[in-house]
Structure 1
Amino acid sequence: MADPLTPSISDRICKHMNEDHAEAIVLYAKAYAGATSATAAEMVSIDAQGMNLMAQVEGAITPLRVEFDHELQDSEDAHQTLIAMVRQARTQPQ
């Protein structure tokens, strides 16, 4: 089993996603939070049930919540789930 989703693990995941996968976070905002006009987004936190984002939507910074389709068990589950979600989002029309 990988690391449980503690606040420090959440911080690590968010830092990595914000630095290396900013385009994926915008996709999450558009595909899973209904913010289809989002132009930028940042992952603020992640927990077993979902992720909290701050997105630039029509000129305003907007908090968004994306719920997962299952409760995450650990950091490896989070990693695999985030990958699957971005792959799914890329198949949807933008």
Structure 2
Amino acid sequence: MSEQITPEISKRICAHMNEDHANAVVLYAQAFGGSPEATAAEMVSIDPHGMNLTAQVNDASVPVRVEFDHVLESAEDAHHTLIEMVKQARAKSK
């Protein structure tokens, strides 16, 4: 069974996404967070219902909440969901 999304798991996921997948985090803000003009973004936290980002929009740092299409059951579910969301965001931007 995969790990539940605890505050420690949230920190680990956010650190990984911000360090290794910064472009994906910007895509989340643009495609799902109602901030298509975002030029940068950072994942602040993730929970079973969604993720909190901070996006750079017109030289301002703004909070962005992205709700998931289902309640995440585990860290593994978060992994698969985030990958799927990147694919959807890239398809939208084509």
* TM-score normalised over the length of structure 1: 0.98
* TM-score normalised over the length of structure 2: 0.98
Aligned residue for 1:38, secondary structure, equals coil
Give RMSD over aligned pairs.
0.8
Aligned residue for 1:25, secondary structure, equals helix
The count of residues paired between Structure 1 and Structure 2 equals: 94
CA distance in 2, matches of 1:46, 1:35: 18
Runs of 4+ in 1 over 6 A off after TM superposition: none
The correspondence of residues 1-94 of structure 1 with structure 2, limited to 5 A, is 1-93=1-93
CA distance in 1, matches of 2:7, 2:34: 26
Q: Which amino acid aligns with 1:80?
A: H
Gaps of 5+ in 1: none
Alpha-carbon deviation of 1:34? 1.2
Aligned residue for 1:86, secondary structure, equals helix
